[in-house]
Structure 1
Amino acid sequence: MLKYDEIINLRKQLMNDEIALETAKNLFWNDFKEGQRTWHTKDWKERRAKVIKDHCEICGSTETLTLQHLSHPKKYYEYEKKITNKYTKSYIDSTPIIQKKDFTKHVIQNYEYVPIPLCPNCKSRYPNQRMRKTPKYLCTACRNEFAEPVYKQVNELIDLFYENKELIEVHDKCFISKDKWKNQHNLLQAMYWLQRKHSKIKNADEIGKEAFMQFLEDTIKYLSFEDTITACKKCAYRYDIKNMELCPKCKTYYKGIQYPTCIQCLPDEKREAALEKIDFGKKMKEMHKNLGID
């Protein structure tokens, strides 16, 4: 695992094109072990000792102090996804629509088609399927009774897609991806993922470098202790796990980070309303538990 200064140098080299992206990735993740944490390293502990204060900056306690990060770097794939989305949007905005024959080939190769049943008389969608009566189907629009519905072919749907993307047929999620995810897509989504694929191929180097650079920047920020406060074990737990902090008004009770004060410090009317809401939530939870629906 690279040290803080080594990661800074790695980012600088990558930014100045002094090192290839794959080489930089290999260096960063070299010797990385599952479950390994940066705060277990000697480098972290030595730098932490220079930053941590002698008291909790939230409640003033001096017991079991830790450095609490106020922000954390995301997983690398999240950066890659975000940058890919950006390049895909740019690609779609600047590139003419994919040719119909190419799109048709893509759909047939990558999706299973599950057609929508139609009335053979009026082409209304989803006729009623009867269990006992014959003929088996009844169209609720034209009252036609029939034994078997009709279906649009893939080519027909794609023709409609290229004519008018607002048609209801275009929005039917009747295409199941053949990959392990088995995603349900409509033609608009199928087109998007094809364009995304083209964008990733075209901009692979740019996407990879930009995503890794952002990942390194946030990692460096995290390791620098820039966005940290000294907190006791209790306050750190409340902040990290419960998303709560000490009320700045009373300095006694904890509150949700998104709220200005704790419930106890609210004006009487608002405090009563908040407590009633909490009590109602507890009763509903208990009722759900008793009914076995929690």
Structure 2
Amino acid sequence: MATTRIGLDRLPPAARAAVEEHTGPLLTVEETTEGFNSEIAARVTSTTGTWHIKGLRTDHPRAWTQRREAEIAPSLTGLAPALRWRVEAAGWDLLGFEVLGGHHADYAPGSPDLPEVASLLRRLGEAPRPGIELRHAEQRLEHYAARPDDLRYFAGTHLLHTDLNNTNVLIDDRASSGDRARLVDWAWATRGAAWLDAAYWIIWLIAAGHTPTSAEHWAAEIPSWHTAPAEGITAFAAANANVWSEISNADPSPWTLRLARATTTWHAHRRTG
């Protein structure tokens, strides 16, 4: 369920003043529409720089997502936009991130962005484990696995993003090839088996028009994918078919139905392939 978005101008004056202690007086504010978790999402500019601001009320049911992003940011150098500052004032929690030039990744077959995303996931696979408590992948999927014993395939100690929506991947047009992609929105960061982010990417690739075979070909560009047992991949496909069936039944919007079709298609491929 998406969070209701409000404009930066509706912040309490004390919260706005706390932001401007970091930015200086704001010259421009461009509200953004991407993402589902934030009440405030805007690109702001002052005489001293430009930032992307995300914010939630401190009593919001999803306030934990702000804390998670702030806690994990120091572990994401080269993987995500840098967190420049955090403000907690007048009942609001606000994060100021660096702004990257570029575009959201295109996952369509033949897209030149696909190798960049594969490079990003390879780098993520080498990232150190952050010293914070994260939910475990097997906990997140325990109500969706076809069999309780399947959960053992998802367990592990690696840092995972788990939401490989193409709008969460920014391709920086100014960076050198092979190091251009960054992941945003780390609210659902998870600890689990090293191959799971490649598997989550498969779902979005199929939703973008790939066949399951093509999507798995791209996943195979990630070294950790080759550590996944075949039965574990099939178990993951089954669990996510159940996840997206539940989501699309509760909120039958075009994008949730597209993901439900993608996961059903992948699961059918795994069972018959």
Taking structure 1 as the reference length, the TM-score comes to: 0.18
Taking structure 2 as the reference length, the TM-score comes to: 0.19
More strand per residue: 1 or 2? Answer: 2
Flag the structure with more relative contact order, 1 or 2, with Cα contacts below 8 A and sequence separation at least 6: 1
Q: Which has the larger radius of gyration?
A: 1
